[in-house]
Structure 1
């Protein structure tokens, strides 16, 4: 690739040092009486307003996946990579419908995770455990994707090699992340998100206006990108892609967009960011405001075409055999070193914010729905928080193992793999917010069918660089089209849920006790104090009439 660029690396390290200081200082920001409570460490005191929540959710949802993986998908396949732009437009109306209801019932009962809600709603520890384990599993590839973003930047700056030499900077970055997340909890990424968003908006605006002037304008960019995509792929003998979707790709495009929209708000890290809000109206406002990030996502996707229009970038990507380097290489080729360093810092920090929130979300799931629910039901708030802090460290280690063991040539597959799993929790979480007609055992059976089909099908997909888990797309049974595995698995899931619910209701199989009430789903912060807690102390749910 090249020797280490001292200017780029120096600026990158400077911004990493700044956010590290902010991360540790966040422990004192808006702090309650104690940090040793999951409401405080894991949810930031449940007190964030519209402004902070907008940055937190934006920093959470628009990550290294946005800055690296989406343009890399456009670089590798053309228009198919743009499926990630419309899914936001589909997802935010769903967020507007389910987000405030989840916030209200969680605030009323002290739920910290979506699995807490499912356990209380359906009176089943088993179903709550299934939702929690699925959330933890889905977080692993998603956090790994953030590592891929940092790794791509380090590679382009010249930090290459093999073994520990190549991976040590990545370990150092995540060690710092682990340290300030352990100390400050959700407040750390909430504050760092401000820095991340300012840098990202700065870089993308400069890129959109500056780079086309160096590449012959937008006409030249699209002409060169179209010609590059039309060339046959040596591995398949077919064109790599096109500037518009064709007959063979429209089902894939549509199912990717729809399936991802179902997953967006039920990911544990998104739920965590939403439950940190101080009022239900904050969720509604953010559902209306966050689509502004979709505009940013569309602009970022165009960077993939810019990279295709630069022969030097194309040659370097081919030499490295890694499309994830397309955008970092574009910045390296087109910007002066000092601004390339700022751009690389934006990508790196854009990975740290969601990685922190994701690790907190996964650790909260383990603590509340595995440790407390099954191992230590009488655990104190301090003990819960200690366990969650330790598990957040283990989650990061797990993500490191995940990323080092997976092919990274098309990192967007990591996010889509997590989506295959998390969509299978949609019936219990999202639909469960509106109706309890589904039987708990039917939900568990449907989840198992969806998980089994999705995992086995994804395992059997391959790519030129990976034998298993090589793609998120597969043939849709009976339709003769290729589509997103998550959506096909979801259809099987919901079919099993509906059929078994009818059967179990006919047989009068006990359905557990619902600890929620209709007014819980419209309650605001001021109403929670009047209703009391669902358990014997704030933030702790108790098993109500069922031990399944």
Structure 2
């Protein structure tokens, strides 16, 4: 254990802990006993704060570990996260302002609130809420996995002689995260995101300048990576031909082009279906803030591209990782420990760990909002007061984090990763009800429910049937497109089935005259902005108290 690196790590962890609790007084409202304040930060964040918050929400600690790890492991689709985070912003530029407008006009806190108001269907809203919670849980678990990876490389929290001592640092991180989220709500990750993003940008920019200079430049790094992949493929030619192991490479072959493209596109469509993404967007003060962020957030995609290259840097630096089989997720933390001075390695480790705390907090708040509004209030206590809603959400945010901790401690890491991959598939099935619902009311509410059920069921079944050299089920995100041998992303296949069923059932149900429910929204709601009637700013940015 490097004492200096650990000391720097602890310093930054204590700093964000103090900020997390202090956030309850930042942009202070009369009280936090309602979901608008606790769960959406007063709906008053401007462009600057929202940029840090949404960026800190989407680009998680696990992203910063897993993306370069895929390149380090020689995955030919390792770069897919870069194009999908580029494609996603023009998409959200179109539909998220409409969701913001209708949500602020009607006081919607969750995407399921919108679905309930648009389609007058509690079952459909419940389906959207449950899907969001299911997709979010393993995502939170992976943030804790990211913290655990950093702790393992630092040499703390890995005492195999005592299970409790070995996991004590993770318990501490969990307890601190739970406490300040409970106390401060969405304001805590919004404030901590400043520290997280500054550290991340600093570490990555220094890394992509300093490390190549130490290793002979980028040409030498790319040559070393390609040489490593070629050597592996030559040594394992027979096993690759038999399908026992996968070939390594940096560029997808022609046979994988559709797999790469569909994975990137499907992931882009799914990204802002996640409840935590919508929570960050609904916390902003106007439609213009969303549009400006859609234009500015690609800066994170640039950062992600630089980060991904660290997988190749780790190969050129001769980084070896622990585990049987070796765990590529350790590659970047191990690279930092090997190549940087102790003090800067401590900064890098702190950046990754804090990068886990921000999204984990937002995700737990988003899941708690879904439970409170669309399960607790919709089915259990329909007369719940705003204070009761806030109390319920605070408690559920703790339960969600505890469930994520159980994922990490009781289940294998590969299982948590597989469930997160399923989460993307699942949350994509809510797209017809949410995104298409922002533009048209033509789809029948029961048709949307039927399409969702088919997409969820068939997609999960397809994923279960995928094997890999290391596991019999849930072995990857790709399957052959029906009737072909071309691999594509399972989520896209399931979404197409969802849409076909939805369209067919809509035609049938409309012909049968089945009740379509009452739409609580009107066209003008989707263009409303801050200052319009019924869309007043919840929090005056120029004042320290509630406006």
TM-score w.r.t. length of structure 1: 0.93
CA contact (8 A) 1:108 1:532 kept: no
CA contact (8 A) 1:407 1:465 kept: no
- How far apart in 2 are the matches of 1:222 and 1:526? 53
- How far apart in 2 are the matches of 1:507 and 1:531? 42
The one of 287, 296, 317 aligned to 1:310: 317
Structure 1: which 5+ runs fail to align? Answer: 534-548
- How far apart in 2 are the matches of 1:421 and 1:250? 23
Runs of 4+ residues over 6 Å off in structure 1: 530-533
Report the counterpart of residue 546 of structure 1 in structure 2: none
Q: Go from structure 1 to structure 2 and tell me whether the alpha carbon gap of 1:131 and 1:411 turns closer, same or farther (over 3 Å shift).
A: closer
- How far apart in 2 are the matches of 1:484 and 1:405? 29
Q: Go from structure 1 to structure 2 and tell me whether the alpha carbon gap of 1:411 and 1:382 turns closer, same or farther (over 3 Å shift).
A: closer
1:180-259 alignment, distance < 5 Å: 180-230=180-230, 231-232=232-233, 238=245, 240-259=247-266
Report the counterpart of residue 297 of structure 1 in structure 2: 304
The one of 278, 281, 299 aligned to 1:274: 281
1:308-457 alignment, distance < 5 Å: 308-311=315-318, 313=319, 315-317=320-322, 321-408=326-413, 413-457=418-462
CA contact (8 A) 1:66 1:300 kept: no
Q: Go from structure 1 to structure 2 and tell me whether the alpha carbon gap of 1:530 and 1:423 turns closer, same or farther (over 3 Å shift).
A: closer
CA contact (8 A) 2:530 2:536 kept: no
The one of 134, 150, 155 aligned to 2:152: 155
- How far apart in 2 are the matches of 1:414 and 1:144? 10
The one of 99, 114, 118 aligned to 1:117: 114
Does 1:469 find its partner at 2:469?
no
Select between 258-267 and 380-389 the one with higher mean Cα deviation: 258-267
- How far apart in 1 are the matches of 2:344 and 2:415? 26
Does 1:261 find its partner at 2:259?
no
- How far apart in 2 are the matches of 1:195 and 1:260? 27
CA contact (8 A) 1:107 1:528 kept: no
Structure 2: which 5+ runs fail to align? Answer: 539-547
Report the counterpart of residue 537 of structure 1 in structure 2: none
CA contact (8 A) 1:136 1:362 kept: yes
Structure 1 residues 423-456: Cα deviation after superposition (integer angstroms, max 9, x where no partner) = 0000000111001111000000000001011222
Report the counterpart of residue 129 of structure 1 in structure 2: 126
TM-score w.r.t. length of structure 2: 0.93
- How far apart in 1 are the matches of 2:260 and 2:297? 22
- Give the drift of 1:322: 0.9
3-state SS of 1:524 partner = coil
What is the root-mean-square deviation of aligned Cα atoms in Å?
1.9
